Structure 1
Amino acid sequence: MNKPVGIIYSSTDGQTLKICRRIAVHLEDLGFKTDVIDIASFHTKISMYSKLIIGASIRYGKHHKNVSAFIKTHQQDLERIDTAFFSVNLVARKPDKNTFDTNPYVIKFFKNQDWKPKRIAVFAGRLDYTSYSFFDRLMIKLIMKITNGPTKSDHPIEFTDWERVKDFSTKMSLN
């Protein structure tokens, strides 16, 4: 029996989880079994997976601290299998900021990590002012104003490029 692909996520507003579920569907269509697990409730041995994908969202310029903690705790095991990492952030809506070597958050994140996955991707997230707390709405509007993004919208704006997500999934299916 083949080992499943582990897809572990840290999601602030749910878009990273949505992307993880889409990756799982793509991989399952390619014949893989998958497990999608919140990083905060991961209590499994990494060795039970053939591949492991970590997806993490950005809030205020940083990935959640549990992502770095997970990597530090499991680094030796992560180095023994095929791994990938993807970041979800609104800066990635810009074509010049949507790759691992152009996205400032991902560059900064990996400067502080000893672990280097085989694949790294960056996906744009989803902007939904109506779902944010008052403080988050103000802060995100300020960030959007500074970065020339939309500061008003009565409905969510999905920036995720689902074809890029599918391409990432396909690349994960290869050896």
Structure 2
Amino acid sequence: MSKTLIIHSSVHGQTVKICQHICQILQQAGEQVDLVSLNDNPDITDYDKVLIGASIRHGKHRPELYEFISRNQSQLEQKQNGFFAVSLVARKPAKNTPETNPYMQEFLAKTTWKPEFLQVFAGNLDYQGYGVMDRNIIRFIMWITKGPTDPNTQIEFTPWDKVDEFAQQFHQSRQAA
């Protein structure tokens, strides 16, 4: 039985929700899975597999994500590993793959870690769930990108079938001995 660690870096909770979904799929497939926050500075030593999910906040991944990867890169590379990014820009068909998503490309350019499994998922837009500053910033970004700007909007853009497929791929692949 694989021992898997899923680490989330989430601001508004959609990345946690995606991680919980992946966790359930892996557990149903017989894996032992722990889900922890990046804020808890998890120890990855005792795990066979590590998956990191990180959201985008105001166009960037959190600096703590890069610091964690830098500190743990050697161990990450010795395990089956993966990374996925969650952003609203991934709601657009031309930006919903690791190759076409600007945030994933920026992430890959800023780190020397090359995850075995990569994916991007669209997030959740919930204006009422944001503070005043975030709400206005996100509405402005949505206006620029021709997205929904009504302050009562709440849309989950996450493609759950794509999340399921990614979880199955992560489960089915085994690290070479």
TM-score normalised by L of structure 2: 0.95
Contact in 2 for aligned 1:3/1:48 (Cα 8 Å): no
CA distance in 2, matches of 1:166, 1:42: 27
SS at match of 2:99: coil
Give the CA deviation at 1:85.
0.1
Q: Are residues 1:11 and 2:38 paired?
A: no
Give the CA deviation at 1:29.
1.1
CA distance in 1, matches of 2:154, 2:50: 30
Give the CA deviation at 1:43.
3.5
CA distance in 2, matches of 1:116, 1:87: 14
CA distance in 1, matches of 2:156, 2:99: 23
SS at match of 1:48: coil
CA distance in 2, matches of 1:29, 1:155: 34
Q: Are residues 1:124 and 2:122 paired?
A: yes
Give the CA deviation at 1:131.
1.0
- Structure 1's unaligned 5+ residue stretches are none
Task: Tell me how many residue pairs correspond in the alignment.
Answer: 173
Contact in 1 for aligned 2:41/2:68 (Cα 8 Å): no
CA distances 1:128-154 after superposition (whole Å, capped 9, x unpaired): 000111111111011001111000152
Corresponding residue number in structure 1 for 2:41: 42
SS at match of 1:121: strand
CA distance in 2, matches of 1:49, 1:6: 6
- Structure 2's unaligned 5+ residue stretches are none
Q: What percentage of aligned pairs have identical amino acids?
A: 44
Corresponding residue number in structure 1 for 2:81: 83
Corresponding residue number in structure 1 for 2:165: 167
RMSD (CA atoms):
1.0
SS at match of 1:5: strand
SS at match of 1:86: strand
SS at match of 2:51: strand
TM-score normalised by L of structure 1: 0.96
CA distance in 2, matches of 1:43, 1:151: 37
Displaced runs of 4 or more, over 4 A: none
Corresponding residue number in structure 2 for 1:95: 93
Contact in 2 for aligned 1:9/1:55 (Cα 8 Å): yes
Give the CA deviation at 1:155.
4.6
User: 1:114 is matched with which residue: 106, 112, 115?
Assistant: 112
Give the CA deviation at 1:22.
0.1
CA distance in 1, matches of 2:29, 2:127: 36
SS at match of 1:53: strand
CA distance in 1, matches of 2:42, 2:90: 31
